[in-house]
């Protein structure tokens, strides 16, 4: 099996190099996927959409990135069942492109929030983070308040698509949701940043398992 | 035709300078020349009031690779790693338009760093606001913090530390000083701004030029009056997304060695960047102003020259590399344009279409700018109020006093501010804004780099010389208490009107004493900025020489915490008696700061070294330098893990001493928290480490508890109560802020 992990890079992505190092750290092979290019999904074992401010968050977070050429290839990879992880702005892009349900809107206090949060697992994802039941990793976002309507939420809950919940809701997310999955469970995304919790000196190693689990 | 007086006023040029211009040119200045001299001879660009004194800075040792000549200073950390850093003010624009003023301050300092070829990896901010109830103050606080957050988070450089002061002297003139640090990894080249190579292209890259910020540099060089509001159009608007593209593309063209020289367009825009590049390189430039990408076709040559539109760079490249350079900028969706070329004749020639508008020797504007010996008095001891000998009056209740200090705007938590900053983007952050030292890890060697910003305005208010020494020693001590070796310094000197001798006296005292402290510590001053005319309607701010000190630790292990780690650990107090002042506690009680004593820089430098060694002894769980508001406040801030403490005055002072001692400030004191079993050995090691002539003393002063806080049996406070006061004080001071 390929050990290559494709990391999508848009103009304004700013956690790309952090994710690159995280992937390298667990002995997988990172490779850039530039926003204007297409790629062949069979060369990769998985894909990550890192955080940042693609296109400056102008228009709407993730809205412009969702329309870029590279997303067409990603969509094909998703259809073929390849695992995809979205982090922060990556989560926003996946929602905007329709690969995940729901939307991410301005935090309830209207401010950007940087802090460590405790997460509880709701339904495990077999590619990312595996059996990790709870973890402590940091958030850093201004628009991380997850929203779906009640009917959709019910469907997602019934189908096991809620991935992580905040123990203390920092941003007003519906049902304390921090991360979700698509119907087939191969696309998963969360607002917190696992690549910022790779070593004890960062404050926690809990993020490491998100990437390591790809090797299992 | 404007008459001469009107012209001089318009261009903010005085009679004396006008005569000098005529003498240099051998004739009357004409046309565009007025605007060029106005910009480059402004205080902001020329440092005309400060230059003679800035030369006195201790600014060299074997680690220094670049100091003052370029956009930022650079030091060598060994093992191929080097860092560039600098601090800069954006006070005037931030007072007029806080969000954009602060945002563009961050943008400007970042460009100074990546212009050198370094990737920006850390930001920090030194902010001074007025009293919460002052006019517009909540709006200014919200705008400044929002602007820093909006810009820094989007470009993806973490804010890892900072300092925020509140004092009425800033009611009409807030201070926004931004610090940035960039990293050169092994093999990465340091770039400069010396134009060279006749026939090479002058390339403009980045945002298009608009009419914003025209005359910004000269605006920042005069005092505020009632008319400040009308200066709003002089403030520029920042675009952090564009800056991010510039960072990535410029780093890429530099990595591929496609540029000969590079300079950002900051104050006085294209004028200062082009004339400085030519002057430094000893060459001339032929510039076609009509080729400068403009936002608006009605823009005039003068506006193009003086515009301070943000996110623009000027670079020199060899013609054969231009195609490759253009491809990289295109990849990042940026437009680049050749606007001129390097010529051998040492003249900057400004063309509009085919007409030569003017040509000038760049040295006339850069090297020959005026240098003033403003009048000042040598600093003497008479300047300080030493009337205070008995200490603060005894407080009726330690509990009540501590609670009021924790809730006061001076003492309350700054979390509302730093929670809005991305402190971890880059995935290098080991210690964030909640700690006394901001720490990032250097990826190639896994060493730790520590950053502390400093200067306590109330100490300078009491005595400009002592305040300046403390502005270096206090951050250096904070670094050493975490095991870091202080390496080098940047500063941002914020002062009132330099034409007033009392202000200039404080300025000179600060430069000389900062330099003395830096020499004692062997931490050269490698970069910095001076901001004069921080006065509104004749009211000067407290002189505020803000500093940034950078330190290195060879490993990331054994960085003591800022907070208590476990109950029953032993608390020690180490003191080197220098100054004893009533400090912020007096200000909180609406009284003047008084005190006595003097800082001996050599003794302190020795102490800094000793503290660094002590911080690495076995069993050291936490350390904290005792700072503003005294010992009770400092100990309380160590309770963030919900552990409390029992502190016994009798162990180090004598029970008969006034309980006000818990709230006075003794420079310098460091708290060490020791794991119980290591405590005895720690005390023994101290005796071995110290210099026999040192006057420092070490006492055991108490222990960590499960959650109860007490002072010599006097106060009994639950730690939850104490944390509530500390965390909620902000909201009480700024009710209107969400």
* pLDDT above 60: residue B231: no
Structure confidence at residue B222 as a pLDDT band (50, 70, 90): low
Contacts B241 to A, Cβ<8 Å: 11-12, 53, 55-58
Give the separation between CA B102 and CA B93, rounded to whole angstroms. Answer: 8
Residues with Cβ within 8 Å of residue B292, at least 6 apart in sequence: B204, B209, B270, B304, B337, B339
Report the run of H or E that residue B83 belongs to, with start and end: strand B82-89
**Average confidence (pLDDT) over B502-510:** 96
Catalytic annotation present for A111: no
Q: Report whether pLDDT(B228) > 70.
A: no
d(CA B49, CA B376) in angstroms, rounded, equals 11
* Phi, psi for residue B426 in degrees, rounded to 5: 100, -20
| Annotation says B10 is catalytic | no
pLDDT at B218 over 70: no
Give the C-alpha distances (Å, rounded to integers) separating B169 from B102, B403, B535: 20, 25, 9
Residues of A161-188 as b/e, b for ≥16 C-beta within 10 angstroms? bbbbbbeebbbebbebbbbbbbeebbbb
Q: What is the pLDDT of residue B538?
A: 84
Q: What is the pLDDT of residues B629-639, one digit of tens each?
A: 999 999 999 99
Q: What are the strands, taking DSSP E only, across B554-619?
A: 570-581, 595-597
**Tokens, residue A154:** 């019910």
Least confident of A75-89, A162-176, B289-303: B289-303
The string of pLDDT tens digits covering residues B332-344 is 999 899 999 999 9
Best of A9, A11, A30 to disrupt the B interface (most B CBs within 10 Å) is A11
CB burial readout B279-291, b (16+ within 10 A) else e: bbbebbbbbbbeb
pLDDT class of A8 with cuts at 50, 70, 90:
very high
Count, residues in chain A: 216
Torsions phi, psi of A208, nearest 5?
-55, -45
Which of A22, A56, A111 lies nearest to residue B738, judging by beta carbons? Answer: A111
Interface residue ranges in chain A relative to chain B, Cβ cutoff 8 Å: 11-12, 14-15, 17-18, 21-22, 51-53, 55-58, 109-115, 138, 140, 142, 193, 195-196, 198, 201-202
> Is the distance from CB of B71 to CB of B475 less than 8 angstroms?
no
- Chain centroid to CA A40: 21
Contact between B424 and A196 using a beta-carbon 8 Å cutoff: yes
More confident residue, B211 or B284: B284
Q: Cβ–Cβ of A15/B333 closer than 8 Å?
A: no
CA B438 from centroid of its chain's CA atoms: 14
Instruction: Using pLDDT thresholds of 50, 70 and 90, give the confidence band for residue B374.
Output: very high
A39 pLDDT band, cuts 50/70/90, is very high
Q: Nearest CA of chain B to the CA of A210: how many Å?
A: 15
The C-alpha of B1 sits at a distance from chain A's nearest C-alpha, in angstroms, of 46
Burial zone of A98 (CB within 10 Å; 0-12 exposed, 13-18 middle, 19+ buried): exposed
Chain A hits for B422, CB-CB cut-off 8 Å, are: 112, 114, 140
Cβ–Cβ under 8 Å, residues B456 and B167: no
Task: Look at residue B396 and tell me whether its pLDDT is greater than 90.
Answer: no
Q: What is the pLDDT of residues B70-96, one digit of tens each?
A: 999 999 999 999 999 999 999 999 999
Whether the pLDDT of residue B164 is over 70: the answer is yes
Tokens of B96: 């007029």
Spatial neighbors of B567 by CB under 8 A, at least 6 apart, are: B643, B704, B705, B706
- How many whole angstroms separate alpha carbon B130 and alpha carbon B259? 45
Q: How far is CA B511 from the centre of its chain?
A: 15
Q: What is the pLDDT of residues B93-130, one digit of tens each?
A: 999 999 999 999 999 999 999 999 999 999 999 999 99
What is the reported pLDDT for B612?
98
Q: Is the pLDDT of residue B150 over 70?
A: yes
- Asked whether the beta carbons of B642 and B719 are under 8 A apart, the reply is yes
Structure tokens at A164: 């992580």
pLDDT digits (tens, 9 = 90+) for B613-670: 999 999 999 999 999 999 999 999 999 999 999 999 888 777 667 888 899 899 999 9
Residue B294 is classified by DSSP as B
Residues near B154 by beta carbon (within 8 Å), at least 6 away in sequence: A12, A14, A53, A56, A57, B240, B241, B244
Pairing of strands B644-647, B708-711: parallel
* CATH entry, A4-215, from 3.40.50.720, 3.40.50.620, 3.40.50.880, 3.40.50.2000: 3.40.50.880
What's the mean pLDDT in B33-61? 93
Mean pLDDT for B698-703 is 95
Model pLDDT, residue A45: 96
**Domain limits of chain A?**
4-215
Terminal CA-to-CA distance of chain A, rounded, Å? 11
Q: Cβ contacts (< 8 Å) between A198 and chain B: which residues?
A: 427
Beta-carbon contacts of B87 under 8 Å, excluding residues fewer than 6 positions away, are B109, B126, B177, B178, B179, B180, B453, B490, B491, B492, B527, B528, B529, B546, B547, B548
Q: CA–CA separation, A55 vs A62, rounded Å?
A: 8
User: What pLDDT, on a 0 to 100 scale, did the predictor assign at position B230?
Assistant: 57
Residues B216 and B89: beta-carbon distance below 8 Å? no
Q: Rounded CA gap, B493 and B177, in Å?
A: 9
More confident of the two residues B230 and A39: A39
Distance from CA of A192 to the nearest CA of B (A): 12
Sign of CA dihedral B592, B597, B602, B605: negative
Ramachandran quadrant class, B257 (left: phi over 0; alpha: psi -120 to 50; beta: rest)? left
ipTM for the whole predicted complex goes beyond 0.95: yes
In this structure, the number of other CB atoms found within 10 A of the CB of residue B230 comes to: 10
Computed over every residue of chain B, the mean pLDDT equals 93
Which is more confidently placed, B714 or A79? A79
If contacts are CB pairs under 8 Å, which of residues 147-176 in chain B contact chain A?
A: 149-150, 153-156
Whole-Å CA distances, B331 to A17, A134, B602, B680: 18, 41, 54, 63
H helix or E strand, kind and range, residue B144:
helix B137-155
What is the SS3 assignment for B109? helix
Residue B591 confidence class, pLDDT cut points 50, 70, 90: confident
Best mutation target, B152, B155, B156, B240, to test chain A (most A CBs within 10 A) = B156
Give the whole-angstrom CA distance, residue B493 versus residue B291.
38
Q: At a CB cut-off of 8 Å and minimum separation 6, what does B459 contact? A: B466, B467, B470, B579, B581, B583, B593
- Asked if B722 is an interface residue toward chain A (Cβ–Cβ < 8 A), one would say no
pLDDT given for residue B229 in this prediction: 53
Strand partners, B205: B313, B336
Catalytic residue among B53, B90, B455, B580: B90
Q: What is the rounded average pLDDT of the residues B317-327?
A: 97
CB B729 within 8 A of CB B406: yes
Q: Considering only the beta carbons, identify the residue of B149, B154, B738 that sits closest to A56.
A: B154
Q: B15: which residues sit within 8 A by CB, 6+ positions away?
A: B8
What CA–CA distance (Å, rounded) separates B418 from B425?
14
For residue B624, the SS3 value is strand
- A107-125 average pLDDT score: 97
Interface touch A112/B421, C-beta < 8 Å: yes
Residues of A in contact with B185 (CB under 8 A): none
> Which of B237, B254, B258 minimizes the C-alpha distance to B311?
B237
* Band of pLDDT at residue B213, cut at 50, 70 and 90: confident
Give pLDDT, residue B628.
94
Contact B137, B130 (CB under 8 A): yes
User: Which residues on A lie below 8 Å from B419 (Cβ)?
Assistant: 111-115
Q: What's the CA gap between B525 and B549, in Å, rounded?
A: 9
Q: Is the pLDDT of residue B506 over 80?
A: yes
- The residue that leads in pLDDT, B11 or B102, is B102
pLDDT number for residue B593 = 87
One DSSP character per residue, B229-264 reads GGGGGGS----HHHHHHHHHHHHHHHHTT--SEEEE
Catalytic pick among A15, A61, A88, A95: A88
- B227 pLDDT more than 90: no
Report chain A residues whose CB lies below 8 A from the CB of B150.
112
C-alpha–C-alpha distance, residues B467 and B599, integer Å: 9
Residue B361 has pLDDT above 70, yes or no: yes
pLDDT-wise least confident of B50-64, B149-163, B212-226: B212-226
Q: How confident is the model at residue B685 (pLDDT cuts 50, 70, 90)?
A: very high
Q: Tell me what pLDDT residue B68 has.
A: 86
Rounded-to-integer distance, Cα B488 and Cα B562, Å: 23
Q: Do B419 and A114 touch (CB under 8 A)?
A: yes
Beta strands in B399-463 (DSSP E): 429-431, 438-442, 447-454
Rounded Cα distance between A30 and A44, Å, is 10
DSSP-derived secondary structure letter, B631: H
CA distance B278 to B196: 8
- Are B709 and B726 a contacting pair, CB within 8 Å? no
pLDDT score of B383: 66
pTM as predicted: 0.96
**Residue B474, token pair as written in the block:** 């206090």
In this prediction, what percent of chain B has a pLDDT beyond 90?
Answer: 82
């Amino acid at each position: 099996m390929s050990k290559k992990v494709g990391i999508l890079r848009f103009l304004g992505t700013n956690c790309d190099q952090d994710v690159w190092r995280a992937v390298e750290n667990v002995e997988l092979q990172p490779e850039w996927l530039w926003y204007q290019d297409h790629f062949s999904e069979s060369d990769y074992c998985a894909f990550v959409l890192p955080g940042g401010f693609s296109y400056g968050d102008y228009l709407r977070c993730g809205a412009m990135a969702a329309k870029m050429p590279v997303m067409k290839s990603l969509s094909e990879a998703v259809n073929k069942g390849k695992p995809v992880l979205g982090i922060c702005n990556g989560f926003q892009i996946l929602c905007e492109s329709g690969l995940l349900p729901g939307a991410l809107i301005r935090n309830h206090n209207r401010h950007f929030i940087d802090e460590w949060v405790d997460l509880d697992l709701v339904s495990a994802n077999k590619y990312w983070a595996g059996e990790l039941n709870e973890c402590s990793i940091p958030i850093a976002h201004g628009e991380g308040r997850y929203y779906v309507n009640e009917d959709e939420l019910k469907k997602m809950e019934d189908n096991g698509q809620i991935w992580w919940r905040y123990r203390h809701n920092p941003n007003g997310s519906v049902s304390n949701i921090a991360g979700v999955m698509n119907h087939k469970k191969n696309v998963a995304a969360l607002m917190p940043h696992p690549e910022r919790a790779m070593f004890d000196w960062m404050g926690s190693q809990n993020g490491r398992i998100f990437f390591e689990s790809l090797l299992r | 035709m404007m008459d001469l007086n009107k012209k001089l006023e318009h261009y903010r040029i005085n009679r004396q300078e006008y005569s000098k211009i005529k003498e240099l040119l051998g004739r009357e200045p004409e046309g565009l020349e007025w605007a060029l001299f106005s910009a480059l001879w402004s205080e902001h660009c020329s440092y005309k009031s400060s230059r003679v004194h800035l030369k006195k800075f201790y600014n060299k040792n074997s680690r220094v690779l670049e100091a003052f000549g370029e956009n930022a200073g650079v030091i060598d950390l060994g093992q191929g790693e080097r860092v560039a850093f600098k601090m800069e003010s954006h006070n005037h624009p931030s007072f007029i338009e806080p969000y954009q003023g602060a945002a563009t301050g961050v943008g400007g300092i970042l460009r100074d760093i990546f212009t050198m070829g370094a990737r920006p990896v850390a930001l920090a901010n030194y902010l001074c606001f007025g009293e919460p109830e002052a006019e517009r103050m909540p709006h200014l606080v919200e705008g400044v913090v929002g602007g820093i957050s909006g810009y820094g988070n989007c470009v993806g450089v973490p804010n890892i530390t900072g300092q925020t002061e509140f004092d009425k002297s800033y009611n009409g003139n807030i201070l926004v000083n931004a610090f940035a640090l960039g990293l050169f990894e092994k093999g990465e080249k340091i770039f400069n701004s010396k134009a060279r190579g006749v026939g090479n292209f002058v390339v403009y890259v980045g945002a298009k030029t608009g009419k914003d910020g025209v005359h910004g540099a000269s605006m920042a060089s005069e005092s505020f009056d009632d008319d400040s509001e009308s200066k709003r159009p002089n403030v520029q608007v920042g675009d952090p997304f564009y800056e991010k593209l510039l960072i990535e593309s410029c780093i890429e063209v530099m990595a591929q060695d496609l540029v000969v020289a590079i300079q950002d367009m900051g104050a006085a825009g294209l004028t200062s960047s082009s004339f400085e590049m030519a002057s430094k390189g000893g060459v001339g430039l032929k510039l076609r102003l009509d080729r400068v990408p403009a936002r608006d076709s009605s823009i005039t040559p003068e506006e193009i020259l003086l515009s301070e539109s943000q996110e623009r760079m000027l670079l020199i490249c060899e013609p054969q590399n231009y195609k490759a350079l253009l491809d990289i900028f295109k990849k990042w969706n940026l437009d680049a344009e050749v606007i001129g070329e390097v010529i051998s004749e040492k003249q900057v020639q400004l063309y509009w279409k085919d007409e030569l508008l003017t040509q000038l020797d760049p040295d006339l504007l850069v090297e020959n700018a005026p240098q003033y010996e403003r009048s000042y008095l040598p600093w003497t001891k008479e300047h300080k109020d030493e009337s205070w000998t008995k200490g603060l009056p005894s407080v009726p209740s330690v509990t009540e006093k501590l609670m009021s200090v924790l809730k006061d705007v001076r003492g309350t938590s700054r979390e509302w501010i730093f929670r809005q900053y991305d402190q971890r983007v880059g995935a290098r952050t080991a210690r964030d804004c909640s700690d006394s030292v901001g720490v990032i890890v250097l990826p190639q060697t896994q060493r730790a780099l520590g950053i502390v910003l400093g200067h306590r305005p109330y100490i300078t208010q009491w005595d400009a010389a002592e305040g300046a020494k403390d502005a270096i020693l206090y951050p250096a001590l904070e670094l050493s208490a975490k095991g870091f070796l202080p390496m080098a310094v940047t500063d941002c000197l914020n002062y009132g009107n330099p034409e007033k001798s009392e202000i200039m006296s404080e300025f000179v005292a600060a430069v000389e004493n900062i330099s003395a402290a830096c020499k004692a510590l062997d931490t050269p001053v490698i970069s910095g900025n001076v901001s004069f005319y921080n006065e509104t309607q004749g009211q000067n701010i407290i002189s505020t020489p803000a500093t940034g000190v950078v330190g290195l630790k060879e490993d990331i292990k054994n960085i003591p915490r800022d907070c208590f780690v476990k109950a029953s650990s032993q608390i020690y107090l180490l003191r080197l008696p220098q100054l004893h002042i009533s400090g912020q506690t007096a200000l909180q009680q609406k009284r003047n700061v008084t005190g006595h004593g003097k800082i001996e820089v050599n003794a302190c430098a020795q102490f800094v070294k000793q503290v660094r060694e002590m911080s690495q002894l076995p069993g050291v769980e936490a350390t904290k330098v005792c700072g503003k508001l005294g010992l009770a406040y400092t100990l309380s801030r160590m309770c963030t893990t919900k552990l409390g403490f029992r502190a016994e005055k009798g162990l180090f002072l004598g029970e008969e001493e006034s309980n006000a001692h818990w709230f006075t400030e003794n420079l310098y004191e460091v708290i060490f928290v020791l794991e119980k079993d290591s405590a005895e050995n720690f005390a023994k090691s101290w005796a071995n480490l110290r210099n026999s002539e040192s006057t420092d003393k070490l006492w055991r002063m108490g222990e960590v508890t499960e959650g109860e806080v007490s002072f010599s049996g006097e106060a009994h406070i639950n730690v939850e109560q104490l944390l509530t006061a500390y965390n909620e004080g902000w909201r009480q001071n700024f009710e209107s802020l969400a």
